[in-house]
Structure 1
Amino acid sequence: MLHLRMIVPPDRTRAAADLIESTVGTAHLVVLPGAARDPAGDVVMCDVAREAGDELLRELRGLGIDKDGSIAVQSIDLSLSERADAAERESPGEAADAVLWEELTEATHEESTLSVTYCAFMVLATMIAACGVVLDNAVLIVGAMAVGPEFGPLAGICTAAVRRAPRLAVRSLLALFVGFAVAIAATTLFSLAMDALDLFSRAQLDAERPNTRFIWQPDPFSFVVALLAGAAGTLSLTSAKSGALVGVAISVTTVPAGANAAVALAYGELGQMWGSIEQLALNLFGIVLAGTATLYAQRALWDTQRGRWRRPSRKGR
């Protein structure tokens, strides 16, 4: 269940309340006339099943409440209410399949914004991966994959494509390319420093490296895994399954490929560098392609259920 708290201009309170009452999957409607001070208005609260949340938010925004008042949405971890249970049963579909597009846009906006913290995570993840590459240590590679924050901008690109949000697309692309550029540049300098300390060596980079050789030798399986990871990552975001997102993070060779490119650049190994960049580009493209297709499929699924969210008003019950 979701909890909605709104500040509604008085002239639209009746329309908002009627809309909530006529929407399948809502419960616990509360109207507090004149309770809001900034901005001035009425406070309207209700609970709604996640399955019906996106449609209700769309209709409420159609009333202009987000412009002249406010709409806040919170997830309810526990609701002990027979009425809430009935509201969830009334709602078509399953909560796990529902997509809250406003929530997804907000989440990807935050995760795809270029910031010092984002760049710091990118740099640290790439440096950890560089150590894993040189030492041929799969544990370090997996750790670097989990630390890397690059899926945020990738999800932002997918969301922007489906929602036709050019600003989100530009922000996500900027974070993605600048983040990798900064990380690769910093890791190249890091590799040179490690070489000066006799902790890295060209011989280690040129060795067989059976555990990490795949990083700079892309093949069809790389693209297949990227497609699968893109779909899984998108589903994890739309269903708020953070555990699944961690699994996606450690399944795709993006940060390790950037790290191998940086170490190879430091030693002038251009063949490995370009192979790593090809691997990186292949994975990024596969994730975006699959993620966008997944979001289109989810939107089409829920569009077929429109028109099932209205019921007779419960007034007088």
Structure 2
Amino acid sequence: MIVQLRICVPDELSGTVVEKCSGQLGVAEVALHPGASVMPPGDVVLVLLARESVERLVEELQVLGVPERGSISVTTPELVVSARADQAEAAAPGEGADAVIWEEVSRQTGEDSRLTWSFLAFLVLATQLAAIGIVTDSPIAIVGAMAVGPEFGPLAALAVALVRRQGQLGRGAALALGVGFPVAMLAAALAAWLSVPLGLFPADVLERGSAVEFIYHPGPYSLIVAVLAGTAGMLSVISRRSAALVGVFISVTTVPAAGYVAVALVLGEYGKAAGSALQLLLNLVGIVAAAAAVLVFYRLIQRRDPAGTKTGGRTS
């Protein structure tokens, strides 16, 4: 996979940046556009390189102070037809699909983990769908609630924050979860409290449901599924395969468990509420732990087989 870096730097730094980029293993092309940047004033350097080499080059550019004096942007072209690009991919160690660009992962998970009105809206709607599925004994509605739930973003961000020791990212993700789930559960509880006197469902509805019993009966497989989902979810983030996230969403019982806690508390089913709360906790912990383990594994691989650099025609 070929990636393009656009580097904006002051003219006094562009020579060093061009030299650094040209000597990087896995670089196919380096283009310098003197004076192309108006704000801030400076030069623009365009680099085509294998995805496997991006992390090393970005680290070296950060050491030079490029982000403070200019900028680095990373994009993936739809199509690159070039023999040099093919040779660069072959020369770069590892596989592009396995390459981790840590800044990209941090920023992507950070954007998905902020406490925003849209995040709250999706979580409230997902929990309401789950509550409806619970009182109507409808697995389809519960699966729909799983697909709508936005909770994986903050969970992935927590994993990244733990591994990279990014306190601000972790605090933002914790805030989104710590506010989002109580608000969503409170809304579901209010809806359930209003529905009983309106005759939308009987007060003993939880004693009749059979298809949703798995929600308040956590067991070893609850944690196993959460671990598998967390692993698959983080792999999809790293490899940028967003389609796999849908499978992750509909395999974990976070939102359904939150909805069940809300309904069970309103109906006085405290034992089932406690079981659902434990289910929720197991899923949250399992997802974060598994996602963090994936990140640690990839970090170890990169340290053992880092992308090399070329200096004077010699690989160091």
TM (norm. structure 2) is 0.96
Query: Aligned to 1:202, what secondary structure does the other structure show?
Result: coil
What is the match of residue 176 of structure 1? 177
* Cα displacement (A) at 1:48: 1.6
Cα distance in 2 between the residues matched to 1:82 and 1:258: 54
Cα distance in 1 between the residues matched to 2:171 and 2:129: 28
Cα distance in 2 between the residues matched to 1:200 and 1:8: 65
Letter in 2 for 1:89: A
Query: Aligned to 1:92, what secondary structure does the other structure show?
Result: coil
Cα distance in 2 between the residues matched to 1:73 and 1:31: 16
Contact 1:21–1:313 at 8 Å: present in 2 too?
no
What is the match of residue 296 of structure 2? 296
What is the match of residue 258 of structure 1? 258
Shift of the 138–313 alpha-carbon distance from structure 1 to 2, 3 Å rule, reads farther
Cα distance in 2 between the residues matched to 1:103 and 1:194: 45
Contact 1:195–1:201 at 8 Å: present in 2 too?
yes
**Are residues 1:200 and 2:201 paired?**
yes
Cα distance in 1 between the residues matched to 2:86 and 2:201: 60
Cα distance in 1 between the residues matched to 2:121 and 2:112: 14
* Cα displacement (A) at 1:91: 0.9
Cα distance in 1 between the residues matched to 2:87 and 2:266: 63
Which deviations, in whole Å up to 9, do the C-alpha atoms of 1:106-157 show, x marking residues without a partner? 0111111101110000000000011111111111111111110000010011
Letter in 1 for 2:9: V
Within a 5 Å distance, the mapping from 1:1-317 to structure 2 comes to 1-207=2-208, 209-306=209-306, 308-313=307-312
| Gaps in structure 2 of 5+ consecutive residues | none
* Cα displacement (A) at 1:267: 1.2
Cα distance in 2 between the residues matched to 1:287 and 1:225: 9
* Cα displacement (A) at 1:313: 5.0
Which deviations, in whole Å up to 9, do the C-alpha atoms of 1:254-283 show, x marking residues without a partner? 000000011112212111111111100011
Percentage identity across paired residues of the two chains? 46
Letter in 2 for 1:262: A
Which deviations, in whole Å up to 9, do the C-alpha atoms of 1:76-96 show, x marking residues without a partner? 221111111111111111111
Contact 1:146–1:249 at 8 Å: present in 2 too?
yes
Contact 2:204–2:267 at 8 Å: present in 1 too?
no
Query: Aligned to 1:226, what secondary structure does the other structure show?
Result: helix
Letter in 2 for 1:24: L
Cα distance in 1 between the residues matched to 2:269 and 2:11: 68
| Gaps in structure 1 of 5+ consecutive residues | none
Runs (4 or more) in structure 1 with deviation over 3 Å come to: none
Query: Aligned to 1:35, what secondary structure does the other structure show?
Result: strand
* Equivalent residue pairs, number: 312
Query: Aligned to 2:204, what secondary structure does the other structure show?
Result: helix
Letter in 2 for 1:310: T
Query: Aligned to 2:14, what secondary structure does the other structure show?
Result: helix
TM (norm. structure 1) is 0.96
* Cα displacement (A) at 1:198: 1.8
* Cα displacement (A) at 1:193: 2.5
Letter in 1 for 2:5: L
Contact 1:260–1:276 at 8 Å: present in 2 too?
yes
Cα distance in 1 between the residues matched to 2:132 and 2:280: 18
